[in-house]
Structure 1
Amino acid sequence: MSLEADRWVLLGTGGTIAGQAAQAADNVGYVAGQVGVAELVAAVPTLGGLPLELEQIAQIDSKDMGLAVWQALARRIAVHLERPQVRAVIVTHGTDTIEETAFLIHRLLRPAKPVVFTCAMRPSTALVPDGPQNLSDAMAVARHAGAGGVVVVCAGQVHAARDVAKVHTYRLDAFDSGDAGPLACVEEGRVREFRPWVRQESDPLRGANALAPFLLASELPRVELVTSHADAGGDLIRSLLVMPGERALQGIVVAGTGNGTVHQALTDALHEAQARGVRVRLSSRCARGRVVPHPGLPFEDAGGLSAIKARLALALDLLEG
């Protein structure tokens, strides 16, 4: 494949990177998803002249991300990855749910080519916006010979989709990869790797033929997320089981304390849910580490996923049957 034939695809979904505020000094009182992807690219000189294809998939605040946009995004990423001349796909996304969308695409597609998500913590109208640099860094990652799989690029760091989490409400370096650490960093347009990029072992959390049932779904199976804490009770779980007018509860992910411990009152209610056919998975509310499996765990552990990603993984497992 000649270099002249190489293409890169940039898909926009909105978010803070496309946000606008009334005043340049306002970094928090903005409206997300206002600037089109073509305008974002025009603001980044390093992208000029590159063979980029641009598509606007959505224009939303990522707090409102949902199935319809996920389906449209997954469909278009899959189409572009099948094209031999496309070397990578870049996605602009809001920071609030970027870790969920990146994990979803990782789980559904497991691409060998790079799928690079990027974002911003300041709107495009900020006095010093971070979006242009993040977008430039994302392009550097997309062009990197050793890149592959789904990653998130922000504040000069490259995070694997399975590991990344938003850990700060305001700072530009709002993301972290926990114990694993980032895959790489971007320095003046060059990628410096810290650890192997693409994991070779199979991922037991990915079901066979995951994409087709996802694209056909009218809704995801209902999986709720609850947290164990001091003085917890089981009333919320029992209410979920009998709530009228809602689609049937199929799964619960509980964010336990420490190494997956769960308050006894909450444990009792979760066992009642299991007895009624509800799948229960266990994660931890701790920011670092994972639930270390041991015979005393009260429920199936989430395979080291954060509670947020474990909820998505369980919903997809239920969808795939």
Structure 2
Amino acid sequence: MKKNIVIIGTGGTIAGKASCSTETLCYTAAMVSINNLIQEVPEIQSIANVTGEQLSQVDSGDMTCELWLTLVKRINEILATSDVDGIVITHGTDTLEETAYLLHLVIKSEKPVVLVGAMRPFSAMSADGPMNLYKAVTLAASNAAIGKGVLVSLNNTINCGREVTKTNTLLQDSFQSPDIGYLGYLQGSEPHFYRLPARKHTINSGFDVTKLTELPQVEIIYGYLNSSPLLAEAAVAAGAKGIVYAGLGNGSMSKDVRDALSILAKQGIVIVRSTRVASGIVTRNGAVDDDLYNFVASDTLSPQKARILLMLALTKTNNSNEIQRMFWDY
């Protein structure tokens, strides 16, 4: 018996159009409706009973926290019904990894949720979107995907929403998990998993945003040689409740920046040390004495994902020790 899968459209390159079929760089994202995308891949109806729902139609650079909350609430509503077995979300690739991690932490269901996008617009010769969409529906309709958290599938790979990141601006194999690796691959029409997500997610997560109308403001400050604390101080003055510092190496920073962030931490602003390096762990009390300065180490989370976890953590507490525990748990 075929499963029932809902595809939620949010826009992105997968729904983009250019002036001609050979143009893959200059195009307008979010032009094709989700129902038209589905019609272009009639083969997916042989996998599952597929319906489409257009939640938004934006370039993923225009995704907002408000749209996130709307998306989360709608997904939880759909998955709570007995006649839907899984969800696929079409999304622009620029912020896909951020949406994936947020959903990984707040969706309250074991049913499969799969994010999918494309590196070439819908109008391109050899567009990757249709095949990616076909494979994403295959994954969402699979029993093997149940309980695995929020998944990301492009180019025949299966990634965990926590670890996946866009690694290349143009290439079709851009989405990878550099530190920990893929969860698995789509081989033909079947997903093959080789590992499981180890951190808390979905039904085991303690985060619930269903009643929220906004998320706490958290800003990312980039570290570099001779950097100034000015931007961090300005962010707090503008209302930020937390700062993620994309530091040097193992989350290191200059003395001037460290002293300024320490003052902000004493004022109740939560400071998370991440790194501008593409992969690796930011260890607690490694490059900086976190115990002394009341900072939080981001573990393997990139700055953009550390920001998401910090925003959610701040809905519960601003105690840095409690938030550090969350960074170990999630």
Q: Scaled by the length of structure 1, what TM-score is found?
A: 0.90
Counterpart of 2:232 (choices 207, 231, 237) is: 237
1:1-321 to 2 correspondence within 5 Å? 3=1, 6-49=3-46, 50-109=48-107, 111-148=109-146, 149-196=149-196, 198-199=197-198, 202=200, 208-213=206-211, 216-217=212-213, 219-242=214-237, 246=238, 248-294=239-285, 296-298=288-290, 299-321=295-317
Task: Provide the rounded CA distance (Å) in 2 between the counterparts of 1:203 and 1:95.
Answer: 22
Which deviates more, 50-59 or 285-294?
285-294
- State whether residues 207 and 320 of structure 1, in contact with CA within 8 Å, keep that contact through their aligned partners in structure 2: no
Range moving further from structure 2, 75-84 or 293-302: 293-302
Q: Tell me, in whole angstroms, the C-alpha distance in 2 between the residues paired with 1:241 and 1:95.
A: 29
Provide Cα deviations, 1:48-89, integer angstroms capped at 9, x if missing partner.
353112100000000000022212211111011112232111
Q: Distance in 1 between matches of 2:308 and 2:28?
A: 27
CA–CA distance in 2 between the matches of 1:203 and 1:11? 21
Q: Contact 1:228/1:266 (CA < 8 Å) preserved in 2?
A: no
Q: CA deviation at 1:240?
A: 2.9
- Residue 312 of structure 1 aligns to which amino acid in structure 2? I
Tell me the amino acid that sits aligned with residue 39 of structure 2.
A
For the structure 1 residues 301 and 203, does the alpha-carbon distance in structure 2 shift closer, same or farther, using more than 3 Å as the test?
farther
One-letter amino acid matched to 2:257: L
* Separation of aligned partners in 1, 2:143 and 2:133: 18
Structure 1 Cα separation of the partners of residues 195 and 10 of structure 2: 29
Determine helix, strand or coil for the equivalent of 2:221: strand
> Which letter does structure 2 place at the counterpart of 1:22?
S
What SS does the corresponding residue of 2:43 show, helix, strand or coil? helix
The one-letter amino acid paired with 2:222 is: T
> What 5-or-longer segments of structure 2 have no aligned partner?
318-330
Measured after TM superposition, the shift of residue 192 of structure 1 is 2.0
**In the alignment, is the contact (CA less than 8 A) between 1:25 and 1:126 conserved in 2?**
yes
Identity %, equivalent residues: 34
Give the superposition deviation at 1:209: 4.9
Residues 278-318 of structure 1 deviation map (CA, whole Å, 9 limit, x = unaligned): 11111111111111233643421124211101111111111
Distance, in Å, in 2 between the alignment partners of 1:73 and 1:290 is 30
**1:195-241 deviation per Cα after TM superposition (whole angstroms, max 9, x unaligned):** 13x54x6469x86351234xx32x32111101222111222223334
Instruction: Tell me how far apart the structure 1 counterparts of residues 255 and 135 of structure 2 sit (CA, whole Å).
Output: 47
User: TM-score normalized by structure 2?
Assistant: 0.88
Superposed displacement of residue 172, structure 1:
0.7
The answer on whether the counterparts of 2:160 and 2:183 sit within 8 Å (CA) in structure 1 is yes
Letter in 1 for 2:297: D
Unaligned runs of 5+ in 1: none
The 2-side partners of 1:168 and 1:277 are apart by 37
User: 1: distance between equivalents of 2:254 and 2:260?
Assistant: 10
